[in-house]
Structure 1
């Protein structure tokens, strides 16, 4: 099977679906047409730009260029982690907590996969390293964002109960154990749902792309299984790190809750 070569006309036909949704939004007063169209334009520009940049990066095959692109991706993810949270830490600590957890989990899982299961030559080859980094980074970013949003909202809502546990002698981690468990659990629910539905209800995107490119179905399934395991590991590690970094920041050495350090958007 030869690779599918999409023409501008093919993309224009598909884009008519977005325009239809925008028209329905106007007719039904849903007020999402502007955001929908802006997101569609942004997506097209970003993906085409990434395509041209990656074409150059793959041709250069330079580890420092690969590292630079990965660093730019990590920087964008660090910003997005806290961009839409109602409550957040002050800017420097928000980036250290959310961004640090995201980068830590992504680097750990990506390097593990490249040096064990995938083993490209060399192991940092940009054609394998950057797409894998993007997949892991995007999922970890969502998990960290969900965990922090749940954690910050819950501790504000249950402040009295948490402070009562601290007053009775619980440590910071003991008093916040239930809240942190709920935050990590919330971050993992979307991934668990995707795993449960994969193959029976939905056809995962990576597997679909490989099938369209002509890859053997069993080989594509194995690759998708590997990616799902990596994503679960990255999401769990990122959410756990983000929550416990936040516990450390929102309590002091005397195990007092410091919600005055939170900022509201």
Structure 2
């Protein structure tokens, strides 16, 4: 029988935290200028994860579909804000937040509900013990894919303005003129999850599989769960990236097939 890992004490955690101090010391020695940011990030992670643990314990105890939905809504809202914050060039007005927020909400919600009602099947299906961690794993990766895809598209439109407008002047539709930037943005947004799947098991052991093995799960079952998560992330990233990039491309043009870079905010 596989024994579960021993609970971590605060002293155990302090030993690992010493590595953060080591990294900060290296930053000071080499004058990298990131030691403050590193310490602040570590402190934020500590506070955020401990608060998350308290919230999850309360959610698990109540098993309320409304509280689960509220927690999911908060997570989706912050994910949309992160996508907005990672853009060098942003769509002006509410579109700057709306495109990324809508894309990640649709993609993550659809794929999470799909997993809960097909592969995972908790009872009840909205059980926060399954729904919230599953949504969180999907969000973290989809958020990056959408942000990278949007950033690539807006950068390409700003960089290749002359080429795009030349195609439009020659009679190309806006979708024909933006075909190359759209395809490049989608490839860039999806390459992260493609590389993760290609390297999983050979270059690294993914976090889900590692956690389940440490918790006492058999390696085979841990591998199955990891594959499930990777496939869900890939599907959600594809849905989110396509939706976000196409919405942004539509916003950056108009019905008269003109490029509308005036709808972009300037570089940060």
TM-score range, shorter chain: over 0.9
2:41 matches 1:39: yes
Q: Note the residue ranges of structure 2 that are not aligned, 5 or more in a row.
A: none
CA RMSD of the aligned region, Å? Answer: 0.8
Equivalent positions of 1:101-116 (< 5 A) are 101-116=103-118
| Structure-2-length-normalised TM-score | 0.97
Q: Between Structure 1 and Structure 2, how many residues are aligned?
A: 265
Q: Which of 183, 186, 189 lines up with 1:187 in the alignment?
A: 189
Contact 1:87 1:263 in 2 (8 A): yes
Q: Which of 92, 95, 100 lines up with 2:94 in the alignment?
A: 92
State how far apart, in whole Å, the 1-side matches of 2:12 and 2:255 are. Answer: 61
State how far apart, in whole Å, the 2-side matches of 1:86 and 1:154 are. Answer: 12
State how far apart, in whole Å, the 2-side matches of 1:107 and 1:36 are. Answer: 32
State how far apart, in whole Å, the 2-side matches of 1:119 and 1:148 are. Answer: 34
2:149 matches 1:147: yes
Counterpart secondary structure, 1:88: coil
C-alpha displacement of 1:84:
2.6
Q: Which of 190, 197, 200 lines up with 2:199 in the alignment?
A: 197
Contact 1:4 1:212 in 2 (8 A): no
State how far apart, in whole Å, the 2-side matches of 1:99 and 1:42 are. Answer: 24
Most deviating of 86-95 and 37-46:
86-95
Counterpart secondary structure, 1:82: helix
Counterpart secondary structure, 2:130: helix
The residue aligned with 2:31 is 29
State how far apart, in whole Å, the 2-side matches of 1:22 and 1:191 are. Answer: 30
C-alpha displacement of 1:193:
1.1
Q: Which of 71, 75, 80 lines up with 1:73 in the alignment?
A: 75
C-alpha displacement of 1:91:
4.1
The residue aligned with 1:63 is 65
State how far apart, in whole Å, the 1-side matches of 2:19 and 2:199 are. Answer: 25
Counterpart secondary structure, 2:85: coil
State how far apart, in whole Å, the 2-side matches of 1:96 and 1:225 are. Answer: 31
Q: Which consecutive aligned stretches of 4+ in structure 1 deviate over 3 angstroms post-superposition?
A: none
State how far apart, in whole Å, the 2-side matches of 1:163 and 1:237 are. Answer: 28
The residue aligned with 1:239 is 241
State how far apart, in whole Å, the 1-side matches of 2:262 and 2:213 are. Answer: 52
C-alpha displacement of 1:3:
3.9
Contact 1:88 1:263 in 2 (8 A): yes
Q: Which of 16, 19, 24 lines up with 1:14 in the alignment?
A: 16
Q: Which of 170, 173, 183 lines up with 1:171 in the alignment?
A: 173
State how far apart, in whole Å, the 2-side matches of 1:115 and 1:72 are. Answer: 22
The residue aligned with 1:206 is 208
C-alpha displacement of 1:2:
2.7
The residue aligned with 2:130 is 128
| Structure-1-length-normalised TM-score | 0.98
Most deviating of 167-176 and 210-219:
167-176
Q: Note the residue ranges of structure 1 that are not aligned, 5 or more in a row.
A: none
